[in-house]
Structure 1
Amino acid sequence: MPGTETARGKMMPRMRCTAAASATAVALLAGVLTGCAYEYDEGLSGEGGGPSAAPTRSDAAIPQDPSLNQPVSGAELDAWVLQVLPDAKGETFHTGFGSLEADEERGDTTAQLPKGTYALTLACRSARRVSFSIENGETELVDLSLRCGTSRVSVVTLPDDAILSLKVDANAPANYAYRISRI
């Protein structure tokens, strides 16, 4: 076998990497990487095989109980409005809430509002989305199809003596609530 001469003058055999050695190294590396796998325990504890005692996390915007989005009336409606429209930090100028039947539309108009920055808080309770439209004269401020179970706050700046027109409509029975407050 040919060799190379070192500084001491001895012959050392030349090392050659063969295809078999390369294939062995790749197979060994693949075997090591295959051992790194994530296992899901599907919420089962290691001992009893039953569900774990840890609470499951859920998206706060999606209620776990579908009945939480069914429209309500009377005292339940009043309680829901207080929950979704808590006390405003600023001065409240207009509040509205109610119930809609399927394919029904409601309208409302505010008194003249002084110039300033306002928070428009919108909420609904229904199995389907509810549409909100808010305009100042010809200017559309909000055009929103809101997924019920969430609240939405839009911030707008209004000129002096603005009068807002509000429209709410739904394709399914729904509750709605809104508040206009100055920030």
Structure 2
Amino acid sequence: MPTVPASRVPRQRTPAAAVVLSVAVFLGAVLSGCEYQYSADNWDETTAVAAPPTTDAALPRDPHLNEPVSGKELDDWVHDALPDAEGQVFHTGFGTLEADEERTETTTVLPTGTYALTLACRSALRVSFSIENGDNELVDLNLRCGTSRVNVVYLPAAASLSIKVDAKGPANFAYRVNRI
């Protein structure tokens, strides 16, 4: 059986490909000639400044940041953990708990209104906060330490809040009750 020779279609070059190739060659030639030189009188090695350290988002947090503190460090932590409050502050409490310790505090009588309950803790473990108005539980929270939490509650009549804090391990706690 006779074979038919394959016909060849000549390749055509497009003008756009030639332009792209020309631009690439031109840029390569121009950029390869770029160089910056420092003059000897402007460079002084004795006044060189070190670059600031880089921060890497992959670096783990310092595990000591959540260890409980005392004294002035506790006062400073409370100031940082409980940001400035708008409105009238009725009660602020903070302290240190040992492992498996529970503390209950009671506020003064609060007038009817809307309140912000700001809670914070410092511990390697979570800290539990329970806030009640008589038999009504307003907040029941296991807070991950290192963060602050604000809960907004409405008290329909004059009330005194019972605030219970307990921790599984050593911890600092702080809370504030302010009217908004």
Fold agreement, TM-score > 0.5: yes
> What are the Cα deviations for residues 98-152 of structure 1, in whole angstroms up to 9, with x where unaligned?
0000000000001110111100000000000000000000000000000000000
Answer yes or no: is 1:169 the counterpart of 2:159. no
- Who is 1:128 aligned against? 125
How many residues align? The count is 128
Deviation digits for residues 137-168 of structure 1 (CA, Å, limit 9, x no counterpart) = 00000000000000000000012211100100
Is the aligned partner of 1:146 residue 2:143?
yes
CA distance in 1, matches of 2:143, 2:54: 33
Match of 2:33 in 1: none
Q: Which has the higher helix share?
A: 2
Aligned residue identity for 1:104: E
Instruction: Quote the residue 2:40 is aligned against.
Output: none
In structure 1, distance between residues paired with 2:77 and 2:58: 21
Give unpaired runs (5+ residues) of structure 2. Answer: 1-52
Distance 1:58 1:118, change over 3 A: farther
Unaligned runs of 5+ in 1: 1-52
* Equivalent position of 1:36 in the other structure: none
**Residue 115 of structure 1 pairs with residue 106 of structure 2:** no
Equivalent of 1:66 in 40, 44, 63: 63
Query: Does 2:91 correspond to 1:94?
Result: yes
Give the root-mean-square deviation of aligned CA atoms.
1.6
C-alpha separation between the residues in 1 aligned to 2:58 and 2:91? Answer: 34
Read off the aligned partner of 2:161 and give its amino acid letter: L
Q: What corresponds to 2:55 in structure 1?
A: 55
Q: Quote the offset at 1:84 in angstroms.
A: 0.5
In the alignment, what sits opposite 1:78? 75
CA distance in 1, matches of 2:149, 2:78: 14
The code of the aligned residue for 2:62 comes to D
How far is the alpha carbon of 1:54 from its aligned partner? Answer: 5.3
Query: What is the TM-score normalised by the length of structure 2?
Result: 0.68
String of CA shifts for 1:154-183, please: whole Å, max 9, x gaps.
000012211100100000000000000011
What is the TM-score of this pair, normalised by structure 1?
0.67
Residue in structure 1 matched with residue 20 of structure 2 by the alignment: none
CA distance in 2, matches of 1:58, 1:71: 25
Distance 1:55 1:84 in 2: 24
Runs of 4+ in 1 over 3 A off after TM superposition: none
After TM superposition, give the deviation of residue 55 of structure 1 in Å: 2.9
- The one-letter amino acid of 1:150's match is T
